[in-house]
Structure 1
């Protein structure tokens, strides 16, 4: 109920921002047009934003046959989290990263990059997936995905106002000045909403993800590695669609690492410090995991059988060779 309330407030705020932009660009008529666009965008965002995000990030669904270790890991962690098994997607980028999307736990997806599987250890990958499952369980994915869709639409509306000469409309109370202000301020306002949503929910997902994986220091280690490696590789899909950046576990864009109002994610050092506190409360072992799993529990990291972790090439067949990560 709380998440539903927060989502409703967020949608109302973004819709009001949408209408304000329309008013300053085209007066009363512009506000009404913006309201209509906002309603359509909200409806589209609720039903199709997850598909749009996955398509824009060029994620491709994988099967139990193509990536059995990853699929089994997500399946086991989903049971532990108490949610249905989400669809699993792979993003073809060497940048280690991951995100979740979907309007509810019954219609959710987890996407991981090939770089995440290549550079992280199995228990670290499991911790990252647990973080994403926490977003799904808390229904953060609906809010975050719709926010991304509306933020992109707000930026587009502001640009349209500039190109179509909204400043010449007599209904515009500030004329050309109002239009120019909206062109520059509207995307900033949308960006601030995105960042506020992302920053607060990332801390919560870190905590809940640590409880799901029961390995808080593994998530801390994963975040440390991701922060060091992420900016060495360009995530082309994310760079083309920066409004989607807040969906990822770590900012896929360059720059903006400070823990301030203008960063899409909390500072990694602060997140690691919180996870270390959680580890102390959970009384985990030195590796971050409990020394003795409870009866009936099992590790979600594949055993070292020499087979290795299989990263299928995007666009290839399930019989393609793939590349090995640190699983063999």
Structure 2
């Protein structure tokens, strides 16, 4: 709850700062307060809807386990229930999806309204201790509110991108209109006004890349944190064992939808150049293993 309140306070603070900047620059009067309200709603609505319905987005790809059909499923249900009781949260729904990649993900808008899904390959390729480590990893995402924090961060960044783009556009337009020398030269004015028409697309693209880097950085930090929580709950050797097996699957294609790719324990991507690293939602597996080895438990 503290983390959620802190994130909410951060979002409100950012919007207040934007309001002050727009007021000082005189852009607030140009934009109209109702337009600003629309921008804020538009920026947040997509991420909030995705968050609220994240538990149901991929249900058609899952086999929800209400009652077990074999001993492995029975053990899985009991393991999730046991850890949920220990962490004092409602037992998440449990699902299994088909994938050649050893993978799992957690989703849901609240810790007591969540889902943990496991690939069928994970249940085959990992032993019980390693599966338990994965359960702990996914539970860590749930109890720390990573899904809602990521949703709020996405919404804030959406609003940031739109407002900064508008501010730069308006400042450029004000510069053109108020510059007397520029207005006398019709050719230069015509060129700048035509360039100005493409300003939104250019700025929006650049800010979009930067915002994705910020979101990816946050996603990488929460993977390290979830690994560490899992290690503390069940022992770091089990989580290291999982990651070592994930390294062997570098050539297997990830089948998770883009909407939940960041929530998977394994994104199936190989880090290439530095830009790829900045845009990747998961840290390199070797980095995750090294961080776990440093832990003093």
Q: Scaled by the length of structure 1, what TM-score is found?
A: 0.64
Q: What secondary structure is seen at the aligned counterpart in 2 of 1:96?
A: coil
What are the residue-to-residue correspondences of 1:302-321 with 2, within 5 Å? none
Q: C-alpha distance in 2, partners of 1:13/1:41? A: 21
Q: CA deviation at 1:146?
A: 5.5
Alpha carbons of structure 1 residues 40 and 262: separation in structure 2 relative to 1, 3 Å:
closer
Is 1:212 matched with 2:218? no
Q: Any idea what the Cα deviations from partners look like across 1:88-135, whole Å, max 9, x if unmatched?
A: 112211111111112222111111111211212221111011011111
Alpha carbons of structure 1 residues 186 and 13: separation in structure 2 relative to 1, 3 Å:
farther
The residue that corresponds to 2:23 in the other structure is none
Q: CA deviation at 1:247?
A: 1.3
- Flag structure 2 segments of 5+ consecutive residues without an equivalent: 20-29, 174-194
Q: C-alpha distance in 2, partners of 1:64/1:100? A: 20
The residue that corresponds to 1:233 in the other structure is 252
The residue that corresponds to 1:112 in the other structure is 118
Q: What secondary structure is seen at the aligned counterpart in 2 of 1:65?
A: coil
What are the residue-to-residue correspondences of 1:100-249 with 2, within 5 Å? 100-145=106-151, 150=155, 173=173, 175-213=196-234, 215-229=235-249, 231-238=250-257, 241=258, 244-249=260-265
| Equivalent residues of 2:219, 2:282 under 8 A apart | yes
What are the residue-to-residue correspondences of 1:81-96 with 2, within 5 Å? 81-96=87-102
| Equivalent residues of 1:123, 1:218 under 8 A apart | yes
Q: C-alpha distance in 2, partners of 1:119/1:81? A: 27
Q: CA deviation at 1:253?
A: 3.9
Q: CA deviation at 1:197?
A: 1.5
Q: Any idea what the Cα deviations from partners look like across 1:184-218, whole Å, max 9, x if unmatched?
A: 224313312321221222222111111222x2111
Q: What secondary structure is seen at the aligned counterpart in 2 of 1:261?
A: helix
Q: CA deviation at 1:227?
A: 2.7
The residue that corresponds to 1:275 in the other structure is 292
Q: Any idea what the Cα deviations from partners look like across 1:31-66, whole Å, max 9, x if unmatched?
A: 5543232343355345323333x34x9334222323
| Equivalent residues of 2:105, 2:265 under 8 A apart | yes
Alpha carbons of structure 1 residues 96 and 192: separation in structure 2 relative to 1, 3 Å:
same
Q: C-alpha distance in 2, partners of 1:252/1:98? A: 12
Alpha carbons of structure 1 residues 48 and 120: separation in structure 2 relative to 1, 3 Å:
same
Runs of 4+ in structure 1 deviating by more than 6 angstroms, as ranges, are 13-16, 169-172
Q: What secondary structure is seen at the aligned counterpart in 1 of 2:94?
A: strand
Between stretches 94-103 and 269-278, larger displacement belongs to: 269-278
Q: C-alpha distance in 2, partners of 1:65/1:74? A: 13
Q: What is the Cα-based RMSD across aligned positions, in Å?
A: 3.8
Count residues with an aligned counterpart.
Answer: 256
- Flag structure 1 segments of 5+ consecutive residues without an equivalent: 20-26, 283-328
| Equivalent residues of 1:144, 1:246 under 8 A apart | no
